Structure 1
Amino acid sequence: MDVLPYVEMSFNVMGNTLPADHGYGLYSAIAHLCPELHQQDWLSIETIKGIPDERGKIYLTDKSRLRLRLPGDRVPLVYKMAGKPLKIGNYQIRLGIPQIFMLTPAHQLRSRLTVIKGFEEPQSFLEAAKRQLHQLEIEGKISIPNNFLGQPERKTIKIKRFTVVGFSLEVGNLNEEDSIKLQCEGLGGKRRMGCGVFIPYQEEV
């Protein structure tokens, strides 16, 4: 693989609530705390999971984590976030001491939200995602999962005043090397805002 060994840094998150759509706000807060992370293509930031209240917020739990994907030699840039507060809009959280994990392969990966500029309809979006997968020389079966209404799972992210449309994606039948590569590279844009970040599917269940 023509990439540096990547790791995942996982910070405990202390706080009460966050906006459900917090990808842009989280990235802005991290970039404010660590300016050297601003616009770094090697960084992926997963959005923080919690219990949705169905009114645009999530409640944080003792399992809520901030997870960052980055090359192992960039860990010192991020480690100084340990113990620091992050202000996300009108909400505030505090980060604990991070744990560092190697990425592990899985036959099936899922991205909660992937965005590809210029593609907002399911079929054209899926074709664009297939092209990106091919460009990465990754072989796998890619699909858009359906929502509870049986329709392609369409999602959005708000970035400043703009709403960006994307879809959930699943990629299955991956060998170990391609699985790690997809977790390192991701698909689409806005990966520092939680988009196009793939995790083993069982973590989403």
Structure 2
Amino acid sequence: MGARTAWPAGSFMSLDEPLRATMIDMVFPLEGHSLPRDASPALRAALQREMPWLDQAPLAGIHPLKLVPGTDAEALLSQRTRLLLRLPRVRFDDAAGLTGRTLQLGGHAVTLGQPHARELLPHRTLYAYAVAAEGDDEIDFMQAMNRELQALEVRSQLICGKRQQHAWPTGALTTFSLMLHGLTASDSLRLQTLGLGRHRLLGCGIFVPHKSAAAVGE
């Protein structure tokens, strides 16, 4: 058995048996001033126009944008705001063609910079800002999540967080934030690859590593 290396707390990676996901996150710097406060539908539509193959890309997702509160109608872009796309790694070169493109999102313009790839790493604790629910009831939502995890043969502790109501042009949608804790390395990568629930291109069901369960309600 070879020597192991130190990785971030909560991760499983070692030099002996590195795990490599079939998906990656593409990280694009953004240049702009503001966006609609809930930009997910407009962002999905703009990216679908630029990348017609997006709907057919298995498990592709668009991470929720981290914006600065502005007015009731719009939010502000900070210098740290990034567009993250979760894509099959074989689509990296195709998506890199977005470099320099300007997207129109509800009357707001945002320009994409040169992207870089971010590997998915297996962590014991994963967090999704929003997971789509079939209704407004938290108990029903948790039961549905447990059924999905059982179907994936994933064992985890679940912590349900903030409920949000979205009045999107595509229809009303309820989401909950969700944390999964106590995952094995393979289960962690499987969940980051597959996600949970529907509407991945609206930012739902996309899991990222999290340090602890303290901020699940945020």
Alignment of 1:91-130 (within 5 A): 91-116=108-133, 118-130=134-146
| Alpha-carbon distance between aligned partners in 2 of 1:52 and 1:179, rounded to the nearest angstrom | 32
TM-score (norm 2): 0.83
Q: Identify the residue that residue 61 of structure 1 maps to in structure 2.
A: 78
Give 1:51 shift: 1.2
Q: Give the C-alpha shift of residue 17 in structure 1.
A: 1.0
Judging changes above 3 Å, is the alpha-carbon distance between structure 1 residues 53 and 105 closer, same or farther for their aligned structure 2 residues?
same
Q: In 2, distance between residues paired with 1:57 and 1:173?
A: 38
Instruction: Determine if contact 2:124/2:181 at 8 Å carries over to the other structure.
Output: yes
1:79 aligns with 2:96: yes
CA contact (8 A) 1:142 1:172 kept: yes
Corresponding letter in the other structure for 2:103: L
Counting only pairs closer than 5 Å after superposition, residues 5-154 of structure 1 correspond to structure 2 as 5-53=22-70, 55-116=72-133, 118-145=134-161, 153-154=162-163
Inter-partner Cα distance in structure 2 for 1:109 and 1:156 = 22
Q: Distance in 1 between matches of 2:211 and 2:75?
A: 21
Contact 1:119-1:128 within 8 A present in 2 as well = no
Structure 1 pair 100/163, CA: closer, same or farther in 2 (3 Å)?
same
| Contact 2:62/2:200 (8 A) holds in 1 | yes
Residue 56 (structure 1) shift: 4.1
Let me know the Cα RMSD of the aligned residues: 2.0
TM-score (norm 1): 0.88
Q: Distance in 2 between matches of 1:155 and 1:22?
A: 15
CA gap of 1:202–1:63, structure 2 versus 1, over 3 A, is: farther
Verify the 8 A CA contact 2:159 2:180 in the aligned structure 1.
Answer: yes
1:137-186: CA deviation from partner (whole Å, max 9, x where unpaired): 211111212xxxxxxx1113333152211211111111221111111111
Q: Which residue of 1 aligns with 2:5?
A: none
User: Which moved further from structure 2: 5-14 or 157-166?
Assistant: 157-166
> For the residues of structure 2 that align with 1:37 and 1:26, how far apart are their CA atoms?
12
Select the residue among 172, 181, 185 that pairs with 1:176.
Answer: 185
Tell me the equivalent position of 1:160. Answer: 169
Listed as ranges, the gaps of 5+ residues in structure 1 are: 146-152
Report SS of the residue matched to 1:139.
Answer: coil
Alignment partner of 1:13: what SS? strand
Structure 2: which 5+ runs fail to align?
1-19
SS of the counterpart of 2:53?
helix
Paired with 2:48 and 2:41, the residues of 1 have a C-alpha distance of 11
Q: Across the two proteins, how many residue pairs are aligned to each other?
A: 195
